[in-house]
Amino acid sequence: MSLPRSCPAGHELSPGQVARRCAACRRDLVTTRVAEADPSLAPEQISAAVGATLVNPAVLRDLVEDRVSMYRVDH
């Protein structure tokens, strides 16, 4: 019996999932970046908005890997 695999942050991975950045890590990253861009938003609002936009895993992957940086606001 093998031990469950996990990502670098410690989230358990599903069989076949790559360990570089799991879905939980990607969701956390998007939430953190949105909070940095608009500190007036409550964490619950951010979480609800992120959840509403994630219609499939590819959307989250695109937000993190390609598109989040173009929305980043430097203060």
Q: Report the C-alpha gap between 26 and 50 in whole angstroms.
A: 11
- Return the domain boundaries, the chain: 23-71
Strand partners, 12: 6
CB 28 within 8 A of CB 66: no
pTM over 0.75: no
Range with the poorest average pLDDT among 30-34, 49-53, 67-71:
67-71
Strand partners, 6: 12
Q: What pLDDT is attached to residue 4? A: 64
pLDDT digits (tens, 9 = 90+) for 11-42: 887 777 766 678 888 888 889 988 999 999 99
